[in-house]
Amino acid sequence: MTFYEKMAIVCRRIPRGTVATYGQIALLCGAPTHARQVGYGLKHDLAGEDIPVHRVVNAKGILSGAAAFETWDMQKQLLTGEGVEVLWTEDGWKVDLKKFGWKNTMEEAEAIAQKLKMCYTDGAEGGKDTTPEGK
C-alpha cells in the first residue's frame, strides 16, 4: 500500500466539525516526518478526489488558502459550514486546535492501523499476505 493510499484511509476518518494537522496525518500513516508529503499529496489529489482536504491544516492551525483551493476563502467556508470557528490572524485564517483539533484516541489509531493492515490481507482469519513477494 502506498503512502497516499494510507493517507486516504486516515483522512476519511477525520470527523466532520474537526481538523487534523499534516503531521498528525503523517504520524497515523506511520511516517511521522512526512508532513510535507501529506500536503503535496492532498494538493495534487494523490489520495483520491473524495478526501475532505479542507479538514487538514498546518501545525499552528493555519488554513492553506488559495494554494490548495479554488478561492482564497474556500477552505474557511467549508469549515465554517461544518461548525468550525475560523478566525483571522496576522498569519491568515486560523482554527483553534485545542477546540477543533481531531483528538483521536489510541483506540482510533489502532483501528486505523488495523484497517491499513487489513488492506494487505485477503480477509481470511490469520490474514494471508498478498503483497508482492511478501513485502
Q: What are residue 21's DSSP bridge partners?
A: 57
Distance CA 100, CA 130 (A): 39
Contact 97, 61 (CB under 8 A): yes
Distance CA 109, CA 14 (A): 12
pLDDT tens for the chain, 135 residues: list them: 899 999 999 999 999 999 999 999 999 999 999 999 999 999 999 998 889 999 999 999 999 877 778 888 999 999 999 999 999 999 999 999 999 999 987 788 788 888 877 665 444 444 333 334 443
Number of Cβ within a 10 Å radius of residue 90: 5
Alpha-helix residue ranges (DSSP H) falling in the chain: 3-12, 22-28, 35-43, 74-81, 97-100, 106-118
pTM to 2 decimals? 0.81
Residue that is written with C-alpha cell 494523490 in the block = 46
- Predicted local distance difference test score (pLDDT) of residue 119: 63
| DSSP-derived pairing of the beta strands 86-89 and 92-95 | antiparallel
* Cα 56–chain centre separation: 6
Q: How does pLDDT run across 113-123, given as a tens digit for each residue? A: 888 776 654 44
- Predicted local distance difference test score (pLDDT) of residue 125: 40
